[in-house]
A = this chain, B = another copy of it.
C-alpha cells in the first residue's frame, strides 16, 4: 500500500491533537491474562473509545522494533525507512541545540579506558552530572580545530555527550569508533565516502586532542563516537501537510524529533501536570498539536507491570482536560509497544483510538483486544497522518 504521491490538501480549520503514551502497547501478564492497558482502570479512555474508531498501529513493519526517533517520525507521517535521521542529530535536537543545515552531529560516550587503551566501561560508570560536565568543560576549552570548523559540545546526561561540527562541506559518512564491546580497543575512524574526508580529518584531530586531555583521568579517560549524522532538515509538516504544528514534551528526545519536522516546541514542562497545563495554555495557536507522555514506556522498560498500569491510569486522569480542548480530531496511541514482560521496546502492534465526528465505533474500552477488532484495522503508523487529515476535513478527493 502507498499513499498518492501528492496529497490533495484542502483549506480547512480542523484541529488535530495527537496524544502519545510512549510504549503504550503491552503483552498479557501470564497470571492475569491481560495486558497493562487492559488491566488499567481507564474510565476516560474507555468512554472515549466507545465513540471512536479503533485500530492497531504497526510502527515500522512486522517484527521490527523501532527506536523512539523512527517511531515518532512514522506517527507524524514520515516513513522512517525513507527519512533516516542519525542518532547524533536526534540527540542534538533532543537537548534543544539549534542545528543548522549542514551541521554534522555525533553522539559521544564518556568511557573508561585502561592503560593499554582497552575499553573497560563504555559508559564510564554512568558518571554524575557534575563530573561529566567537568570533563566536557575541559574538552571545550582545551580543543582547537582552527579555522576549518566550529565545534559545540553538549553534555546530555551521565555518559552521554553530543558533538556538533559546523563548517563548509562537512559530511557524515564516517564509521563509529564505538565497538559496542569492552576489553577491546576503540575502532579506527573509517571514511565511508570521500565527500566526508574533511570531516574525518577534523574528527581525527578532535579525538586525538581529547584523548590527550583526559588520558590520565580515572573515570572518564576515553570518548567513543557513534552515529555520525549530517543535518539537512526534513520537509516540515507545514510544507507537506499544510499544518502549523506545536509540541509539548517533557523529554528532549521528543522535543527534538518534533522540531525536526518543523513543529514549534512550547517550553520545557517538568511534569506531566505542567505539560497538560502548557497544552491548555497554547491550544488555539496551531492546527496540529502533539503531547508526549513518557512514563508508560519508562515503567515498561523497568519491567514493572503494575507501575506501567499506574502510569497509564495517570494519563487517563488528564484525558478529560485534553478532551475539553475540543480538537476536531483526538488521537490516542503509542509510538511502539514496551511490554513490561520484555522490559524494552518491542515490535508488537500498538492500540489506536481516533475520536472525531466521522467514526465507526466498535469497542467498549481502550485495549489491545478491542483495538484489534476495530474499524481502522492494522495500519502502518506512517498512514496515521492521512487518516487524521481526512478526519480534520483537510484532504481533498483523489481523482474525479
Contacts and interface: CB of A to CB of B under 8 A. Distances in A.
Nearest to A227: B400
Interface in A55-86: 56, 58, 60-71, 80-81, 84-86
Nearest to A84: B399
A271 interface: no
Contact of A1 (B66, B380, B395): B380
Contacts of A385: 63
A339 B388 CA distance: 18
A4 B60 contact: yes
Contact of A27 (B62, B80, B346, B360): B360
Given A63-B388, A84-B399, A398-B60, A360 B375 contact: no
Interface in A91-114: 91
Interface stretch (A187-195, A196-204, A361-369): A361-369
Nearest to A383: B62
A395 B399 CA distance: 30
A182 to B, nearest CB: 16
Interface in A348-389: 348-349, 358-362, 368-369, 372-380, 383-389
Given A63-B387, A377-B377, A386-B61, A400 B349 contact: no
A35 interface: yes
Contacts of A1: 1, 58, 61, 380
A382 to B, nearest CB: 9
A389 B63 CA distance: 7
Nearest to A4: B81
A3 B391 CA distance: 28
A391 B63 CA distance: 8
Contact of A342 (B56, B358, B375, B386): B358
Contacts of A345: 397
Contacts of A67: 397-400
A355 to B, nearest CB: 14
A95 to B, nearest CB: 14
Interface in A14-57: 27-28, 35, 56
A24 to B, nearest CB: 14
Given A349-B375, A358-B346, A377-B56, A63 B383 contact: yes
A315 interface: no
B379 A375 contact: no
Nearest to A79: B2
Nearest to A88: B400
A237 B10 CA distance: 35
Contacts of A362: 369, 372
A309 interface: no
A347 interface: yes
A12 to B, nearest CB: 13
A90 interface: yes
Contacts of A348: 358, 360, 375
Contacts of A372: 360, 362, 373-375, 377
B65 A398 contact: yes
A341 interface: yes
Contacts of A63: 383, 385-391, 395
A5 interface: yes
Contacts of A396: 65
A398 B66 contact: yes
B69 A400 contact: yes
Which residue of A2, A383, A399 has the most chain B CB atoms within 10 A of its CB atom?
A399
Given A63-B386, A63-B388, 17 more contacts: A3-B61, A28-B361, A35-B360, A56-B377, A62-B390, A64-B390, A64-B395, A80-B399, A86-B400, A87-B400, A90-B400, A339-B358, A345-B397, A347-B395, A362-B369, A362-B372, A372-B373
